[in-house]
């Protein structure tokens, strides 16, 4: 009778996390209440706190889980013998789960900028993902797949941004996505094989400059 089933405990935890995810997908991070989550998980409101310290802890758990999965997949890709473009291809596609999943990701990104606790989690995982990408790129350089003079940190940052942007655009323009995503992959290929330009974006055709955006 020592620790009657820590495995059962973990299972319930995961059940609750699942219920929470479903709620968050429907109503957003702030829109879903702990009461909603409890109802979805079919537990009493108090019982939630047997498994999590707070609603934030649930969100943090969810974010962490998500980022861990991404990081794992990336590392797996690195260890495979695939080319970088090939390895990253799945990330340059629509977010499975569609618009709701994407909205939740936006929520999480926004939240992580406001809640320092979550900011830490997200930052640390982003860093770890970036490091994986850098490693992947360095290996790519050794194989000749990646241009040798590239700043790998900056390139990794750019790749992460493209990965995210691809998902957004696939969501906003599902009709064009089939054609636009390959273009993004092509841009990725260009990015990896072209030395950075020396801070000039090509000779401007005209002299007239545009009023700066004030948004």
Partner DNA sequence: CATGAATGAGTATTCATTCAT
Partner DNA sequence: TATGAATGAATACTCATTCAT
Show contacts with its own copies in window 142-201 (CB under 8 A): 143, 145, 151, 153-155, 157-158, 160-162, 164-166, 168-169, 171-173, 176-177, 179-180, 182-191, 194, 196-197, 199, 201
> Least CB distance from residue 40 to DNA, whole Å?
12
Binder among 25, 39, 43, 105 for DNA (CB under 7 A): 43
Binder among 23, 60, 104, 137 for its own copies (CB under 8 A): 104
Of 7-15, 52-60, 131-139, 206-214, the window that binds its own copies (rule: CB under 8 A) is 206-214
In DSSP notation, the chain reads --S--HHHHHHHHHHHHHHHHHHHHHH-TTTS-HHHHHHHHT--TTTHHHH-S-HHHHHHHHHHHHHHHHHHHHHHHHHSS--HHHHHGGGGSPPTTHHHHHHHHHHHHHHHHH-HHHHHHHHHHHHHHHHHHHHHHHHHHHHTSS-TT--HHHHHHHHHHHHHHHHHHHHH-HHHHHHHHHHHHHHHHHHHHSPPPSS--S--S-S--PPPP--
The answer to whether 116 contacts DNA (rule: CB under 7 A) is no
The answer to whether 3 contacts DNA (rule: CB under 7 A) is yes
The answer to whether 5 contacts DNA (rule: CB under 7 A) is yes
The answer to whether 115 contacts DNA (rule: CB under 7 A) is no
Residue 149 partner contact from DNA, its own copies, none using kind-dependent CB cut-offs of 5 to 8 Å = none
Question: Contact residues for DNA (CB under 7 A)?
Answer: 1-5, 8-9, 12, 30-36, 43-50, 54-56
């Amino acid at each position: 009778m020592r620790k009657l089933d820590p495995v059962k405990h973990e299972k319930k935890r995961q059940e609750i996390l699942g219920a929470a995810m479903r709620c968050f997908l429907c109503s957003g991070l702030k829109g879903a209440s702990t009461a909603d989550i409890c109802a979805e998980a079919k537990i009493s409101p108090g019982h939630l706190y047997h498994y999590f310290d707070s609603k934030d802890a649930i969100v943090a758990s969810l974010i962490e889980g998500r980022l861990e999965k991404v990081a794992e997949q990336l590392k797996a890709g690195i260890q495979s013998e695939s080319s970088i473009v090939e390895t990253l291809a799945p990330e340059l596609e629509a977010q499975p789960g569609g618009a709701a999943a994407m909205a939740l990701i936006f929520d999480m990104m926004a939240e992580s900028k406001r809640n320092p606790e979550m900011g830490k989690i997200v930052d640390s995982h982003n860093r770890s993902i970036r490091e994986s990408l850098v490693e992947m790129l360095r290996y790519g350089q050794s194989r000749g797949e990646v241009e040798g003079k590239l700043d790998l940190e900056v390139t990794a940052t750019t790749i992460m941004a493209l990965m995210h942007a691809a998902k957004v655009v696939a969501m906003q323009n599902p009709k064009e996505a089939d054609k636009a995503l390959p273009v993004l992959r092509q841009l990725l290929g260009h990015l990896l094989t072209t030395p950075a330009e020396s801070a000039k974006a090509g000779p401007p055709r005209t002299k007239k400059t545009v009023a700066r955006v004030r948004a």
